[in-house]
Amino acid sequence: MSSRQLTMARAISEAIAQEMERDPTVFVVGEDIGKYGGIFGATQGLLERFGSERVRDTPISETAFIGAAVGAAMSGMRPIAELMFVDFFGVAMDQIYNLMAKNVYFSGGNVHVPMVLMTATGGGYSDAGQHSQNLYATFAHLPGMKVVVPSNAYDAKGLMISAIRDESPVVYMFHKGLMGLVWMPSVRSAQTVVPEEPYTVPIGQAAVRREGKDVTVVAVGLMVHRALDAADALAREQIEAEVLDLRSLVPLDRESILRSVAKTGHLVVVDEDYRSYGLTSEVITTVVEHDLSLLRSKPERVAYPEIPVPYSRPMEQFALPNAEKIAAAVRRTLATSAVA
């Protein structure tokens, strides 16, 4: 029992089910989240268990149903709205960033918006430029939303329960390639032991996934696993990488970043989201604006280039960050160190 393993998809749906059990105000809205169980399985089994009043399939009207979730959250409910792919944010962003994210502030804290906006991210399976994006920074740049990105099943459950219980809106971004779906490549190590009982993982605390003294590699979501793969390879060259899983972009756990870099003196940041104006520069700047001398070599970023996601497999794979690129970046940063 204590060693029960779950996929991330199962961990998420279990978290939702347990919260729905506990709290009658929790409900789910979205497209194909009922009978279908969510295109990526995050709501599997919920309709059967809780019925169509609390597990509501919607028209293809993201503005209406995400906005309705905002209204319901202001009216005593705790909705979880699923935006099927994060790539679709553009049809509903006004409700998301101008209401969901700002109503707490606009009301001077007199109104709470306890809702979760859950959405799928990521590519790597040739779904082309409107179905493969990550867009972490698109949300993290705008104030008023917490932005959570789990990297494994244990965290996924605990972070989802935290997100549901949070009085503020939480954007919960799960990477498709971590969900343990049988029909697409999935990172095996995202499947972990998951306790049956409900538990929380606090939002805003990064986790050290691997300790190391030579270099800090910062990542979120799927890229944590790529970073761990890179660390394995580097270990064979006597390079001990510390891998930091941010777990959320907002709040960003700057202390953990600083602590690790203070130890290692070297920094590589990995992101599957577009490189410019994104996570990588925010993490690097967090370090250098705190104390330039923490870094003993120039930092590196390994991120998605500034191109729409191409369909064709060789092109997409070329563009994606991977363990080799991360390891190479680590080697580069350590090499410049020697020179400096």
**Strand partners of residue 217:** 243, 268
**Residue 57 interaction partner, one of ligand TPP, another protein, a copy of itself, none, beta carbon < 5-8 Å per kind:** another protein
Out of 40, 88, 154, 174, point to the residue binding a copy of itself (CB under 8 A).
88
Please enumerate in sequence order all residues whose Cβ is within 8 A of that of 226, keeping only pairs 6 or more positions apart, or say none.
Answer: 219, 270, 321, 322, 323, 326
Min CB(294)–another protein separation in Å: 27
Min CB(61)–ligand TPP separation in Å: 9
Q: Is residue 95 close enough to count as binding a copy of itself by CB under 8 A?
A: yes
Min CB(213)–another protein separation in Å: 35
How is residue 208 written in tokens? 């050290």
Min CB(15)–another protein separation in Å: 20
> Could you tell me which stretch among 18-26, 29-37, 140-148, 236-244 binds a copy of itself (CB under 8 A)?
140-148
Number of residues that bind a copy of itself (CB under 8 A): 57
**Residue 277 interaction partner, one of another protein, ligand TPP, a copy of itself, none, beta carbon < 5-8 Å per kind:** a copy of itself
SS3 string of the chain?
A: CCCCEECHHHHHHHHHHHHHHHCCCEEEEECCCCCCCCCCCCCCCHHHHHHHHHEEECCCCHHHHHHHHHHHHCCCCEEEEEEEEHHHHHHCHHHHHHHHCCHHHHCCCCCCCCCEEEEEECCCCCCCCCCCCCCHHHHHCCCCCEEECCCCHHHHHHHHHHHHHCCCCEEEEEEHHHCCCCCCCCCHHHCEECCCCCCCCCCCCCEEEECCCCEEEEECCHHHHHHHHHHHHHHCCCCCEEEEECCEEECCCHHHHHHHHHHHCCEEEEEEEECCCCHHHHHHHHHHHHCHHHCCCCCEEEEECCCCCCCCHHHHHHHCCCHHHHHHHHHHHHHHHHHC
Q: Is residue 297 close enough to count as binding a copy of itself by CB under 8 A?
A: yes
Min CB(143)–a copy of itself separation in Å: 5
Min CB(88)–a copy of itself separation in Å: 7
Catalytic choice (131, 175, 225, 266): 131
Nearer to a copy of itself, 36 or 277 (CB): 277
Min CB(37)–a copy of itself separation in Å: 26
> Could you tell me which stretch among 184-192, 220-228, 256-264, 292-300 binds a copy of itself (CB under 8 A)?
292-300
Q: Is residue 106 close enough to count as binding a copy of itself by CB under 8 A?
A: yes
Out of 112, 288, 325, 331, point to the residue binding a copy of itself (CB under 8 A).
288
Count of CB atoms situated within 10 Å of the CB of 270: 29
8 A C-beta contact, residue 22 and residue 75:
no
**Which residues make up the interface to ligand TPP (CB under 6 A)?**
31, 60, 62, 84, 88, 91
Comparing C-alpha atoms, which of 192, 191, 155, 196 is closest to residue 172?
155
Catalytic-residue membership of 131? yes
**Residue 142 interaction partner, one of a copy of itself, another protein, ligand TPP, none, beta carbon < 5-8 Å per kind:** a copy of itself
Out of 278, 323, 326, 330, point to the residue binding a copy of itself (CB under 8 A).
278
Nearer to another protein, 15 or 115 (CB): 115
As annotated, the active-site residues are 131
Binding site for a copy of itself (CB under 8 A): 63, 87-98, 101-102, 105-106, 129-130, 137-138, 140-144, 249-250, 252, 274, 276-282, 284-286, 288-293, 295, 297-301, 306-308, 310, 340
